[in-house]
Copies of this chain bind each other. A is one copy, B any other.
Amino acid sequence: MNQLDLMQQLSIKGTTKIVLLVIDGVGGLPKEPGGLTELETAHTPNLDALAARSACGLSTPVAPGITPGSGPGHLALFGYDPLQFELGRGVLEALGIGFELQPKDVAIRGNFCTVDAQGLITDRRAGRISTEECAKRVALLRAIQLPGVQCFVEPVKDYRFALVLRGDGLGADIADTDPQQVGKAPLPAVARSQGSQRTAELVNQWLAQAQRILADHPPANMCTLRGFSVDPGLPKFSSVYKLKAAAVAVYPMYKGVARLVGMEVLPVSGETPADEFETVRQHWEAYDFFFVHIKKTDSAGEDGNFEAKVHVIESVDQALPALLELKPDVLVVTGDHSTPCMIKSHSWHALPVLLHARTARSNPVSGFSESGCLAGSLGHIRHVDIMPLAMAHALRLNKFGA
């Protein structure tokens, strides 16, 4: 039996409350071998004290050696095996800009490119035009109409945009039109199965019109389309866990992934950890589960800014008492993945996890950090284990078998 089915079978309603605090990219590496990581450098008296009174461990996001994107990292945290439930690139692009996808929408990632007089690609990224230039061309592309289908075009960043098609009977089983190399013409959209045949034809109509519109706007005088996909229809938190769940996040991508699993997204005034915790306080009575997402640790990690990442971690620690005052029955603190400043990108490294609950077997760990949690009572787990553990410690799971 797979894990979600098992959760659906065993989960029961209750009055206990669970908070999942995700400090994006919190895991890291030292600047120099043998040194301290960002988290070990940060002064975090509140997290350290909490760790000693909690069950701690190290958690691997997806599988050893696998660096997750934000989508898979969060699906795993929510208990959905990202190797089983894949999110299409088009869907992630649409979620990332806050586009509210409807269940049957086909979402597509678009790349502006440069083509020569023969229509052959000379630059797959159109000289990395600015987001502003991108937006101007997107405004032109909005004029394209297709029979019986609504077309939404939105700028993303630089040369990237999102295209969403909404209508009846659309399919997303369509190959990318990007030939992946210069010197070739963009490919036509080709359906990989019968149910996407008509959609591929519509996409080709859209591309023909886009070609005419963009012809006079070099360097972005053409575009390619990738990652045709639809909302994967994930089972929702209300049915899997019988939880009324809310998401507290500042960035669109995380609100989007939370919506995919049925969380309600709460409005946040401001964007500091303290602001986000205040949002939790305001809605405390209305929900069983809060997913709280802190973004800026990851941003600092991707910038390679060690001190900035340390500072964001410290700001979370300083705000933490406000969250603890709510006395959640279960509080989990971890990240979706590591983002070591030394690598300047997401990484595969396991990251510390802390589970605080009256029912947790605590351990005298030295603090909330990569090395501190090594001796924790949870041992080494995976992100998909976190929700079952949180549910168990909240006494929201029935016994399995008699």
A397 partner residues in chain B, CB cutoff 8 A: 65-67, 348
**Does any Cβ of B come within 8 Å of A4's Cβ?**
no
A64 with B33, Cβ < 8 A, contacts A82-B400, A346-B399 known:
no
A306 to chain B, nearest CB (A): 15
A400 and B358 form a contact (CB under 8 A): no
**A374: which of B10, B89, B359, B363 is its contact (CB, 8 Å)?**
B363
- Identify which of A208-216, A242-250, A289-297, A381-389 touches chain B: A381-389
Q: Which of A66, A358, A359, A387 has the most CB of B within 10 A?
A: A66
Main secondary structure of the interface of A (DSSP, over half): loop
A31 to chain B, nearest CB (A): 12
**Does any Cβ of B come within 8 Å of A68's Cβ?**
yes
**Does any Cβ of B come within 8 Å of A43's Cβ?**
no
The closest CB in chain B to the CB of A71 belongs to B401
- Interface size for A (C-beta < 8 A) is 65
A346 partner residues in chain B, CB cutoff 8 A: 399
**Does any Cβ of B come within 8 Å of A114's Cβ?**
no
- One digit per residue, 1 when the CB lies within 8 angstroms of any chain B CB and 0 when it does not, for chain A 20-45 equals 00000000010001100100000000
A350 to B360, CA, bound (A): 11
A67 partner residues in chain B, CB cutoff 8 A: 392, 397-400
A66 and B10 form a contact (CB under 8 A): yes
**Does any Cβ of B come within 8 Å of A326's Cβ?**
no
- One digit per residue, 1 when the CB lies within 8 angstroms of any chain B CB and 0 when it does not, for chain A 343-384 equals 101111110000000110111000000110011010111000
A59 to B349, CA, bound (A): 17
A361 partner residues in chain B, CB cutoff 8 A: 29, 37, 349, 370
**Does any Cβ of B come within 8 Å of A83's Cβ?**
yes
A385 and B68 form a contact (CB under 8 A): no
**Does any Cβ of B come within 8 Å of A266's Cβ?**
no
A residues engaging B (CB < 8 A)? 1, 3, 6, 10, 29, 33-34, 37, 53, 58, 62-72, 82-83, 86-87, 89, 92-93, 340, 342-343, 345-350, 358-359, 361-363, 370-371, 374-375, 377, 379-381, 385, 387-393, 395, 397-402
Q: Which 7 A-B pairs have the closest CB atoms?
A: A65-B388, A379-B380, A65-B392, A64-B385, A69-B401, A72-B401, A69-B402
